[in-house]
Amino acid sequence: MSTQELAGKVALVTGAGSGLGRSIAERLARGGAAVACCDLSEDSARETSELITSAGGRSVALAFDVTDEAATDAAVDVAADRLGGLDAVVANAGIAGEGAARGLELASWERIIAVHLTGTFLTTRAALRHLVERPGGSIVMQASAAGLVGLPNTPAYSAAKSGIIGLARQVARDYAHLGIRINAIAPGTVLTPLVQQAYDERFGADVEAGLEARAASIPLGMGRPDDIAAAAAFLVSDEARWITGTVMPVDGGLSQLRP
């Protein structure tokens, strides 16, 4: 892919304040896209946006909760208005989701489903109103290897990510005739603040041993945020113009080559 393969495009990334979202936002900007950096934390969204503008890119920062229907609708409209339309969305916002099924409280289940699955739906629905106005629109939904295989201690998270995969395939079918592409990425374990939080909760003082064991279980070892960002940039780009309804595992072989 060229260094300006996204020139002229406007993209919106949720959960852009840190981790995978920040890496994706920066990668899209390096490709030439103007990027709306969205996050629950206004400070974090602004930090990512300033990283982009300081490097010569165009960006705005927006703070909202993806589970809030009105706030999500309004923020997507503001992003499109301030950046001159909308061509691509990466629905990446998420939270940690630990807890075995037997002891998982209903409130935790509902919050994890709300942020990951309902938040992805609300972001997608708001974006579609703008994507139908321009040719070649693209939505990338952040799923997970946990939506493809049974990973330990993540019932709500796995259910939400499986739901995102189904949502991506269904919406892709409905909007293909308008030239809008919808795909999902299924990342494996990448050491981000969210993953660190999950492993801290799971392993406590033994967290380093837990991370080493996970890395050893992945055929290609632990991934980096840039690995996921590169996949998102490709799916957003015109080089993926004949790809829709797919789930792209970017997991070092975790979901395909597990012993």
Domain ranges of the chain: 10-189+225-248
CB of 214 within 8 A of CB of 220?
no
Identify which of 14, 47, 163 has the alpha carbon closest to the alpha carbon of residue 97: 163
Per-residue pLDDT of the chain (259 residues; tens, 9 = 90+): 557 899 999 999 999 999 999 999 999 999 999 999 999 999 999 999 999 999 999 999 999 999 999 999 999 999 999 999 999 999 999 998 888 899 999 999 999 999 999 999 999 999 999 999 998 999 999 999 999 998 888 999 999 999 999 999 999 999 999 999 999 999 999 988 877 887 787 788 888 888 888 889 899 999 999 999 999 999 999 999 999 999 999 999 999 987 6
Please report the DSSP string for 34-73 in residue order. EEEEEES-HHHHHHHHHHHHHTT--EEEEE--TT-HHHHH
- pLDDT (0 to 100) of residue 97: 83
Q: Which CATH architecture has domain 10-189+225-248?
A: 3-Layer(aba) Sandwich (3.40)
Amino acid at 34: A
d(CA 169, CA 164): 9
d(CA 82, CA 80): 6
Catalytic position from the list 64, 157, 175, 199: 157
- pLDDT (0 to 100) of residue 2: 53
Please say if 175 is a catalytic residue. Answer: no
CB of 60 within 8 A of CB of 46?
no
Q: Which residues pair with 250 in a beta bridge?
A: 187
